[in-house]
Amino acid sequence: MTSGKKPKIKTMKQFFVIAAILFSFLHSFAQYENFDLSTYKLPELKRHQLDLYFDSEGNFRSNFSKDNIYFENEDIEQKYNEFDSGVDLMYSFYRNSEKLQASAAVNFSTNYRLEKNHGFQINETDSRFIGSGIECVSNFKFFNPDNWFLSVSPSLNISGSNFKNPDNGNSGTVLEQSKTSGAFLFGGGKGRIEQVQDFRHAILLLQELDGSGLKRELTEAEVYELSVLISELKNKRFFDSRIRKKKDLTAVDSFLVDKGVISNNNEIAYFVGLEDIWEFGDLQIRGSGNQLRFIAGPEYYNNRRKYKDNDENKLEQIKILTTLEYCSRKPISLKWQRNFDIGLNYLNTENLVQENISTGSSKHYSQAYSDLSFGFFPNTRTSLLFWGRTELHNWSSEDLFEERIAFRFSTGVSVNYYISAKLRLNGHANIRYDKSGLFNEDAVKSTFNRYSYGVHLNYSIF
C-alpha cells in the first residue's frame, strides 16, 4: 500500500515546485508593476533629433446650412474632398534641467493637395495645390525651486504655394501665394510635467531579463538609478548606431553586474532579451505632472496672392493672443496613460493692410475647449491613442460675444507601430461635428461634418 502512494507524493511535489516558480514569477512582475512612474524626475540632459516624414492624408467634408439672411431660408449643401501628400524634414532639440525645460524644432515641408468641390453655386471643380515652407517653433520655461515658472515662446513660419483651379468668377487660377507669420508669446504658471518613459523602460528591461535568471530583484531606488542611466545614455548623439548600441548595452550590463543582479558569464538569451528591450522599450513618450499656465503676446501675419489677371491681393494683420490653460498628465500604469487639458483662448485681430482680399468681419475670436485622451501601450513596439475634444467658439466684429457662436466635437484614434527602432508607421482616423448659429436667431444655421484619415511614415536619422 505504501508503494502505491509514491506517485501521488511525487505529483504533489511537482505541483508545489511549479506553484512556487509561478508565484515567484508573478510576484516579481507584480512588484515592478506597482512602481509609480510619476515619481521619476529626468536628470539634466540634452537631446538632438533629425526625422524624415512621408505623409498621406484625406479629408471628406459636408456642409449643410439654412440661410435666412441672404437666400430666404434656402437649404445649402456643399461637399469638399481633399487628398494630401508631403515630405517633411524636422530637426528637434530638447533640454531638461532643474531650472530649465527647453524645446525647439525646425521643420522643412513640401506638400501636394488635390481638392474636389461641388454643391450650392459651385461647379464641380478639381483644384491642385503645391507648396513648401519652413516653420520654427520654440518654448523655454524657467523654473524656481517651488515649480513656478516663466515661459517664452518665439515662432516663425514662412511658406509659398501655387494653386490652380478652373475659372469660376473671382476664384480663378491663383498663380502664387506667400505667407509669413511670426509670434512672440510670453507668460508663466505653476507646475511641471516630466517625461517618465525611461522609468518604464527600466521596468520593462527587468521584466524581460527576469526569465534569464536574475539573482535578485532590484529595489525601487535601484530601478530609479537604472532609469537615470537609461536617460543619460539614450540622449547622447551618435551618427553610427552600431557604436551607440555597443556602448549603451555595455553600460547597462556593467550596471547589472555591479549591483549583483547578474553574473559575468551570461547565456545568449540574456543578451538577446537585453538588446530587444533596449531597442524598443523607450520609444513612446510618457508624461507625468500637472501645470497651470497663462500665455499672451503678439503675432504678425502677412499674406500675398497674385491671380491670373495680375491683381495682387495683400493682407497684413497684427494679432494679440491670450491663453489660460490647465494640463494634466497621468501614467495610470505601465500600459495606460491619461491626458487632460482644459483652457480658454482669446484672439484680437487688427488689419494693417487689406487690398482686394476678404477676411470676414471678425475682430474678436474666443474659444473654450477641453481635451481628454487615453494612451494604451500593449508592448514595446505598439501604442494607441483614443481622444475626444469639445470646443465652443465665438466670432464677433464689434462687441465680444456679439455675433456667431459655434459648437464643435471631434474624436479619433491614432496607432503607432515601430517597424524598427528608427522606422515608425502612424495611422489615424478622426470624426468632427460642427454646429454654428447657436443662441442667435438672425445668424446663418449650419452643420458641418468631417471625416479624415492619415498615414505617416517616420524615419529617425539620429
Structural domain for 104, as ranges: 45-195+286-460
Residue 423 belongs to some domain of the structure: yes
The domain spanning residue 422 has which CATH number? 2.40.160
Residue 151 belongs to some domain of the structure: yes
Whether pLDDT at 258 is above 80:
yes
Q: Report the number of distinct structural domains present in the chain.
A: 1
Residue 246 belongs to some domain of the structure: no
Question: Residue 111's beta-bridge partner residues?
Answer: 86, 131
pLDDT at 26: 44
Q: What is the grid cell recorded at 207?
A: 521584466
Q: Tell me the pLDDT tens digit for each residue of 12-60.
A: 555 555 544 444 444 444 466 677 888 888 889 888 888 999 988 888 8
Q: Which of 91-100, 214-223, 369-378, 429-438 has the lowest mean pLDDT?
A: 214-223
Residue 21 belongs to some domain of the structure: no
252 or 152: which carries more pLDDT confidence? 152
Residue 270 belongs to some domain of the structure: no
Identify which of 143, 180, 140 has the alpha carbon closest to the alpha carbon of residue 160.
180
312-331 and 194-195 beta bridge pairing: unpaired
Range 127-133 average pLDDT: 87
Residue 154 belongs to some domain of the structure: yes
Whether pLDDT at 382 is above 60:
yes
pLDDT at 384: 94
At residue 175, the 3 state secondary structure works out as: strand
pTM, two decimals, is 0.80
Banded pLDDT at 431 (limits 50, 70, 90) = very high
Residue 213 belongs to some domain of the structure: no
Identify which of 418, 422, 370 has the alpha carbon closest to the alpha carbon of residue 392.
370
- φ, ψ at 415 (rounded to 5°): -125, 130
Strands, DSSP E only, in 335-380?
336-355, 364-376
User: Which residues, in sequence order, are CB contacts of 354 under 8 Å at separation 6+?
Assistant: 314, 315, 316
Q: Tell me the pLDDT tens digit for each residue of 318-334.
A: 999 999 999 999 999 88
Whether pLDDT at 341 is above 50:
yes
Q: Tell me the pLDDT tens digit for each residue of 164-190.
A: 765 554 455 667 888 999 999 999 999
Q: Tell me the pLDDT tens digit for each residue of 193-240.
A: 999 988 888 888 888 777 666 777 888 888 899 999 988 888 776 655
Residue 377 in contact with residue 334, Cβ under 8 Å? Answer: yes
- φ, ψ at 157 (rounded to 5°): -140, 125
266 or 366: which carries more pLDDT confidence? 366
Residue 401 belongs to some domain of the structure: yes
